[in-house]
């Protein structure tokens, strides 16, 4: 098994074993669903400043080409395989099954856990209309869920004063989990810059807000299970997403093939 065992500093708690493998040179965690949800829940219950990155083919290729994105993923407390191709490479590297841990599904799993365990969440990103619809739908689905706040930041770069104000707002909310939906690579850079300053687990979930607010239709389950969700999104928004999926997916496939050829079976 070609993997790198690491230990995570859990701030006084018992250490948890960690296994990361390189996917196109980008470190991705090999972990199952229950382990990921449990680990995030433990951090959230203690209000630890942690970062969770959801890594699909696009974000892995971006990290393999852009130094600051690579550092953000490397420093993440969890870098999860969001995207079937990434999960397949992780499974090949470890020799063990690796589920795809997608951002939209992880968000729902964490909301269910948060409602059960009394952990507050915060929604950061997207538009005001989407956030209002998302809050309503999450409350309908999880009646006990505590949503500590909503924030739709401007699309432009925030000033230092605005960033400090956001940090104060997030910490004052007492949220244990902050879901961040700013799009790749902006959300990864934001999470990395705010990790430790915000006393919560920062989880980048990409398009999850749009899906769960019913603003964008998600691919049917059978396409997700076959690793074809990208194709559904490309067909839905070809002008915006053609470069992301056709160019970066091709780059990922070629890079993965080179990696497999170098490392062998």
Residue 236 predicted with pLDDT over 90: no
Q: What confidence tens digit (pLDDT) does each residue in 168-181 have?
A: 999 999 999 999 99
pTM of the model: 0.85
Residue 222 predicted with pLDDT over 80: no
Q: What is the mean pLDDT of residues 180-207?
A: 94
The predicted structure's pLDDT at residue 206: 87
Residue 5 predicted with pLDDT over 70: no
- Write down the domain spans for the chain: 20-212
Residue 9 predicted with pLDDT over 60: no
Residue 184 predicted with pLDDT over 90: no
Residue 13 predicted with pLDDT over 50: no
Q: Which 3-state string (H, E, C) describes the chain?
A: CCCEEEECCCCCCCCCEEEEEEECCEEEECCCHHHHHHHHHHHHHCCCCEEEEEECHHHHHHHHHCHHHHHHHHHCCEEEECCHHHHHHHHHHHCCCCCCCCHHHHHHHHHHHHHHHCCEEEEEECCHHHHHHHHHHHHHHCCCCEEEEEECCCCCCCCHHHHHHHHHHHHHCCCCEEEEECCCCHHHHHHHHHECCECCEEEECCCHHHHHCCCCCCCCHHHHHCCCHHHHHHHHCHHHHHHHHHHHHHHHHHHHHHHHHHHCC
The predicted structure's pLDDT at residue 2: 34
């Amino acid at each position: 098994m070609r993997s790198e065992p690491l230990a995570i500093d859990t701030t006084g708690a018992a250490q948890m074993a960690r296994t990361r493998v390189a996917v196109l040179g980008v470190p991705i965690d090999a972990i199952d669903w229950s382990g990921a949800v449990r680990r995030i829940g433990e951090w959230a219950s203690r209000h630890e400043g942690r970062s969770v990155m959801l890594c699909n083919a696009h974000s892995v290729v971006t990290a393999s080409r852009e130094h600051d994105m690579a550092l953000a993923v490397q420093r993440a407390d969890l870098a999860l395989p969001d995207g079937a191709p990434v999960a397949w490479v992780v499974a090949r590297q470890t020799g063990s099954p690796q589920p795809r841990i997608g951002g939209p599904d992880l968000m729902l799993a964490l909301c269910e856990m948060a409602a059960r365990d009394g952990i507050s969440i915060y929604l950061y990103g997207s538009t005001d209309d989407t956030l209002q619809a998302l809050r309503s739908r999450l409350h309908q689905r999880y009646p006990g869920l505590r949503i500590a706040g909503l924030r739709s930041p401007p699309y432009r770069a925030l000033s230092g004063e605005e960033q400090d104000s956001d940090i104060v707002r997030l910490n004052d909310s007492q949220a244990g989990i902050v879901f961040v939906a700013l799009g790749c690579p902006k959300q990864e850079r934001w999470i990395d810059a705010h990790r430790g300053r915000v006393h919560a687990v920062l989880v980048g979930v990409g398009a999850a807000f749009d899906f769960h607010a019913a603003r964008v239709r998600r691919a049917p389950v059978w396409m997700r299970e076959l690793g074809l969700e990208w194709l559904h999104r490309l067909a839905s928004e070809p002008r915006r997403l053609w470069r992301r999926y056709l160019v970066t997916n091709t780059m990922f496939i070629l890079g993965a093939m080179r990696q497999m050829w170098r490392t062998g079976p």
